[in-house]
Each structure stands twice: as structure tokens, then as C-alpha cells.
Homo-oligomer: A and B are copies of this chain.
Amino acid sequence: MSSSTKKAVVLLSGGLDSATTLGIARNEGFDCYAMTFRYGQRHNVEVECARRVAASLGVAEHRIIDIDLKQFGRSALTDDTLAVPKDREDIDDTSDIPISYVPARNTIFLSYALAWAEVLDAFDIFIGVNATDYSGYPDCRPEFIDAYEKMANLATAAAVTGTQKYSIHTPIIKLSKADIIKTGTSIGVDYSLTHSCYDPDPDNKPCARCDSCKLRLRGFQQANLTDPVQYAD
């Protein structure tokens, strides 16, 4: 890449949404610095998927960061005593925040991304939040992202020196899952490398029954594409 290429920090979970977001950032010409968290999630396999996705899309660097969100608990993703909901009838019901919500997770992830951006002299941060086919998480909504961006532009050295402003990019925030999949497919994102399930079986095969699997499967169906991932029987 040329030295004039703009750098971006891209949050990458190993799931479908963040893989697409990385593909889009790369497609827009950014030199991508991917950041993944091993935070105590029960679907730790996604970290390995993130590694493969990052390699396949050719990032400048991939940083995997260990943080312990398990200590706070209160989420089925980090607390083994809480069951991941399965076979929910209405996956579009966002009136209650589901038990898979991890307290302040995206706030923490973005804060690490901001720290890395600051030392990289990068002013662009990408996050694959989605507020259409999603589970009603508060930290996936556009108003949260806007407030985070404002805060970031007051938190950092650049806020005082006034050189440049940070942008938090959310290229898939308003897309349906089907449109995310179609977009990613058109720019060469390999979904066979991704993992979306909250509660994979011992062989790390996705369950097809949690909200995340159901949203993914419906997305592929609506996009008239086949999900290349093999599900548990």
C-alpha cells in the first residue's frame, strides 16, 4: 500500500457483520488495522474466525486483545449459568433487551479502538453494528454511535490540537441482513470463514437456533444465497 493510504481501525468479531464491514473498509481504500477481543465469550471460536477473515482480506495488522468481561457477568454470552435463548418465535421483537446483551461491550471495544487509532494517527474507526436485523442492543443504535463520535472528538489529543476529527463508520447500520450478505458477496467476503452462533456445539458448529443464527439463516434465504457454513444436526 502507498504511504498516502488512509489508515482505519476496524473492529472485527469474526461474525458476518464485522467481516462485511472490514470488506467495505478495504473496498473504500483504507489500510485496515483489525482489532478483535477475547473477552470471555462462550463462542470463543469466533476469534479464530476473525484471524482467518483478517488474513483473507489482507489487513495491515490484526491485534487480538484479551479483556475480561466475564467478571461482570449478566449476559448469556459471558456467564455460563445463563442459557442462550433458543427457538425464539419473534426474533424481530426488540421491546426487551435480550440476555445476550453484554453490558457496555461496544463502548469498551470502541474505546480500545480509539486508543489504537490515536497511536496509529488513524482517524477512521469502523464498527459493524446493525440496527435493522438485530436484537435490540442499545449500543448498536445510530444515536449511540453519534454520541460516541462526539465524545471521541473531545477525549483525545487531536481534540486539543485541533488537527483532525475522528469518524466512526457504520456502513451496514441500516442494511437488512440480506443486503449485508449481498454487499459482502459482491466485494469478495468469504462467509465460509465467519461464525455467528452464540452457542456452538462442542465441534464449534453453529446451533441454527439462537437469535444470531436465525437472523443469519433468514438473511441468506432472503438474499437467495446459500450459507456456506455447516450447522449442527
Contact = CB atoms under 8 A, between A and B. Distances in A.
Interface of A: 63, 65-69, 71-74, 97, 101, 103-108, 111-112, 114-116, 118-119, 136, 138-139, 141, 143-144, 147-148, 150-152, 154-157, 159-161
User: What is the oligomeric copy number?
Assistant: 2
Given A97-B157, A143-B154, A147-B147, 15 more contacts: A65-B71, A69-B115, A72-B119, A74-B119, A103-B115, A103-B118, A103-B119, A103-B156, A104-B114, A104-B155, A107-B155, A138-B159, A144-B151, A144-B159, A151-B151
B114 A107 contact: yes
A147 B144 contact: no
Query: What does DSSP make chain A's interface, helix, strand, loop or mixed?
Result: helix
Contacts of A101: 157
A114 B111 CA distance: 12
A115 to B, nearest CB: 4
Given A138-B154, A156-B138, A118 B104 contact: yes
What 7 A-B pairs have minimum CB-CB distances, sorted nearest first?
A: A104-B115, A103-B118, A147-B151, A144-B154, A108-B111, A104-B114, A74-B119
B160 A138 contact: yes
Contact of A150 (B73, B136, B150): B150
Given A143-B154, A159-B138, A160-B97, A111 B115 contact: no
